[in-house]
Amino acid sequence: MTTQDDLAASAAGFRPGNLVKASVTSPRPENGSVAVDNSSEAGEEVVSKDRLLPKVKQVSKCSYCESNSAESLKTVPCLSCGSRCHIDCIACAAKFKDKILLGDDFFHFKCFKCTDGQERFKRYHLSWVDVVHITLFNLTHNPPVRPNGGANRIKADDPAGQFSSNEHGPQEYGDSRIYFHYKADVAKFIDQHWSYFWTKARGETWINSASSALSTNSTENVPEDGRFESGKAKYNKNGMWALTDDLRFPSSYDSAQQQKGRTVMYSFAEDGSLIELPSQSGNGRRKRKTDPVSKGSGVRATKKQRASGTPGTPLEGSGALTAGDYGAAAGSAASKRGSGGGGGRGKREAKSSWSISMWPDIDNPQGPAHMSREETHAAAQFVIESDRLTVWNDKGYRMAKASHGAETGAWYFEVTVLQPVRPEYNLRIGWSQISGELHAPCGYDVFSYSVRAKPSTRFHAAIGSPYGEEYGPGDTIGLLIYLPQLDSDEKQDLADRKWQPGERYRQFTYSRPESQRPYNADSELPPLPVLSGSELVYFKNGKCLGPAFQKLYLGKYYPAISSYMGGKVKVNLGPDF
Q: What is the DSSP string of 343-387?
A: TTBT---SS-SSEEEE--B-PPPSS---B--STTTB-TT-EE-TT
The reported pLDDT for the residue numbered 335 is: 29
Distance CA 374, CA 402 (A): 10
149-153, 459-463, 509-513: the lowest-pLDDT one: 149-153
The reported pLDDT for the residue numbered 166 is: 78
Distance CA 98, CA 479 (A): 54
pLDDT digits (tens, 9 = 90+) for 382-393: 999 999 999 999
Distance CA 123, CA 353 (A): 19
Q: Give the contacts of 66 (CB within 8 A, at least 6 positions apart).
A: none
Identify whether the C-beta of residue 315 lies closer than 8 Å to the C-beta of residue 376.
no
Which segments of 148-230 does DSSP mark as H helices, in order?
151-157, 188-192, 194-197, 206-216
CA nearest to 566, candidates 364, 359, 381: 381
pLDDT digits (tens, 9 = 90+) for 399-435: 999 999 999 999 999 999 999 999 999 999 999 999 9
pTM higher than 0.85, yes or no?
no
**pLDDT band, very low/low/confident/very high, at 189 (cuts 50, 70, 90):** very high
Q: Which residue has the higher pLDDT, 22 or 184?
A: 184
Q: Which residue has the higher pLDDT, 501 or 564?
A: 564
- Concatenate the DSSP letters of all residues of 455-483 into one string: TTEEEETTEEEE-S----TT-EEEEEEEE
Distance CA 67, CA 75 (A): 12
Q: Which helix (H) or strand (E) holds 282?
A: none
Integer-rounded Cα Rg, in Å, for the chain is 25
- Concatenate the DSSP letters of all residues of 58-73 into one string: -BSB-TTT-SB-TT-S
Chain centroid to Cα 183, Å, comes to 22
Q: Is the per-residue pLDDT at 65 higher than 90?
A: yes
Burial level of 390, CB count in 10 A (0-12/13-18/19+)? middle
Q: Is the per-residue pLDDT at 486 higher than 80?
A: yes
The reported pLDDT for the residue numbered 208 is: 87
DSSP three-state, residue 105: coil
Burial level of 571, CB count in 10 A (0-12/13-18/19+)? buried
The reported pLDDT for the residue numbered 418 is: 97
The amino acid that residue 32 corresponds to is G
Sign of CA dihedral 272, 275, 280, 281: positive
Per DSSP, the chain holds a count of helices (H) and strands (E) of 10, 26
The CA–CA distances, whole Å, from 575 to 15, 23, 414 equal: 6, 21, 11
- Concatenate the DSSP letters of all residues of 267-280 into one string: EE-TTS-EEE-GGG
Distance CA 60, CA 313 (A): 45
Distance CA 143, CA 154 (A): 16
Q: Is the per-residue pLDDT at 8 higher than 50?
A: no
Distance CA 569, CA 577 (A): 15
First and final C-alpha spacing in the chain: 26
Q: Which helix (H) or strand (E) holds 568?
A: strand 568-572
Q: Is the per-residue pLDDT at 264 higher than 90?
A: no
Average pLDDT rounded to a whole number, residues 35-60? 40
DSSP structural state of residue 200: S
pLDDT digits (tens, 9 = 90+) for 138-176: 999 988 776 554 444 445 555 556 676 778 889 999 888
Arithmetic mean of pLDDT over the chain: 77
Q: Is the per-residue pLDDT at 441 higher than 90?
A: yes
180 forms beta bridges with: 241
Phi, psi (degrees; rounded to nearest 5) at 493: -55, -50
Q: Is the per-residue pLDDT at 344 higher than 60?
A: no
The reported pLDDT for the residue numbered 157 is: 56
Per DSSP (E only), the strands in 484-564 are 508-511, 535-540, 543-550, 558-564
DSSP structural state of residue 315: P
Identify whether the C-beta of residue 322 lies closer than 8 Å to the C-beta of residue 482.
no
Peptide bond into 423 cis (omega under 30): no
